[in-house]
Amino acid sequence: MHAAHSGQDMLGRLVAFDTTSRNSNLDLIAFAQELLQKAGATTRLTYDSAKRKANVFATLGPAVDDGYVLSGHTDVVPVDGQDWSSDPFRADVRDGLLYARGAADMKGFIAVALALAPEFANLSLKRPLHFALSFDEEVGCVGVRSLLADLQAANIRPALAIIGEPTEMRIVGAHKAGAVIETVATGRPAHSSAPAHGASAVMMAGEFIGALAALGNELMGDSDNHFDPPYTTVQANVFSGGTAVNVLAPEAKVTWEYRALPDRNPDSVMARAAAAAETIAARYRAGAPHAGFATAIKAAYPGLKRDFDSPAVRMACALSGSNDVHAVSYGTEAGLFQEAGIPSVICGPGSIEQGHKADEFVALDQLDACAAFLRKVARKAAE
C-alpha cells in the first residue's frame, strides 16, 4: 500500500473513534497498541483515576536512551451545535481534503505515524523511535502528565520529542503558556431598590471583568514579536449569576483565561487579578461584610520556551530544510515535555485554523508531507 494512501486509510480508522474529551479513548488506544505491538513495539499504558482513559507509550528499536518521541493527543473537541456537511466521525474526502473531527487536530499526525510503524520496524534502528499517544489534551494537557511521570519512574530518557499538532508542517519552537480560571464573586441578597443593604455579585463580577480588560491592556506593553498577538492576553469568556432582576445577586461566576508569553511568570497575572478583586470587594463590604472573590485555576499548562540550542528544533530544521522557526499562541503538550527535560518541537500536518470548527479538514498532500518528514526522522534514528 502506498504510504500516502495508508496514512489516509489510517486516519479514516482513527476519526471513526469518537474520542471527544468527555468520552473514553480506550478503544482507540487498544487499536493503536495492537497495531504497534504487531510491528514489534513494546508498550506501556498509563490511566486516568477512573480507568476510562489511557495513554500509550510504545517503543520500536533498542531499549536505550536518546530516542525520538512522536507525540500526539487522541482526544478531540465536541461537535455539539456545529453545522457539518458530512458525518464528523466518518472520513469524507472531497477535492484532496479529508473532512472529519480531529482530521487536523490532531489525528492526521497520529495516523501517519501509525501507518509508517511497520516500515520503521524494518529499519536497523540505532536509537529508539517512541510513539506517545495521550488523553485529555484539549481540557488542559491532562493525560500526558502521567505518561511523563511514568517515563521518569522507568528511567526512560528520550533525546527529544516531536509534537504533531497542526502547523502545516512548519517548524514551531515556542508557544504561550495558558490557564483556565474560575472566579466566583459572593455578594449579599437584598431588594434591588436598596443596593446599600446588600451587594450584587453580578455588579462585583462585572467590575472584575472590567479589571481583567484593563490588565489585558497593560500587558500589551510587554511584547515579543515572534507571537501573534505579541503579548500576554487575558479574556473573560463565560459568565453566570443572579436570580431575578429585582434581587441583588448573591453569587456570580466568571470563567477567564490567560495566554502568557512563555518566558514570563504567569503568577504575576494571577496576583494582579487577585489585587484588583480585593479592591473591588472592599467597596461592597459596607452593605455586605462577607463580600469577596474566590479564584481557582481549573487547568493550566506551561509554555514552550524558545531554545535556540534545542536538539529537537535543530533536527527538525535540518530534516525539513528550513531554518524558519515559528512561535504560536495556542497551547500544546510541548511545554510539559520541555519541563520534563525532553527538548521539544511542534510540527504536524494541517492547519490550526481548521481545529475546533465544523467541517474540519486536513489536506491529503499535508499527510504526504508528514510521511516524508517522519521517514527522515526514522532514517536519522537508524544512522
Residues annotated as catalytic (active site), given as ranges: 75, 137
Using alpha carbons, select from 142, 141, 147, 145 the residue that is nearest to residue 59: 147
**Contact yes or no for 150/144 (Cβ under 8 A):** no
Instruction: Order the strands of the 325-328 sheet from edge to edge.
Output: 42-47, 54-60, 129-134, 68-73, 160-163, 344-346, 171-175, 325-328
Using alpha carbons, select from 157, 137, 160 the residue that is nearest to residue 319: 160
DSSP H/E element including 43: strand 42-47
SS3 161: strand
Cα separation, 255 vs 276, in Å, equals 16
C-alpha angle with apex 104: 98 to 105, nearest 5 degrees?
Answer: 145
Using alpha carbons, select from 211, 232, 208, 206 the residue that is nearest to residue 220: 232
Which amino acid does the sequence have at 304? L
Cα separation, 145 vs 36, in Å, equals 22
Nine cell digits for residue 266: 504567569
Cα separation, 54 vs 236, in Å, equals 32
Cα separation, 131 vs 71, in Å, equals 6
SS3 217: helix
Nine cell digits for residue 350: 494541517
Cα separation, 155 vs 64, in Å, equals 10
Distances in Å between the Cα of 171 and the Cα atoms of 152, 162, 231, 253, 337 are: 27, 10, 21, 39, 16
Cα 11 from chain centroid (whole Å): 20
The number of residues in the chain equals 383
Q: 236: alpha, beta or left, given left = phi > 0 and alpha = psi -120 to 50?
A: beta
Longest Cα–Cα distance in the chain? 80
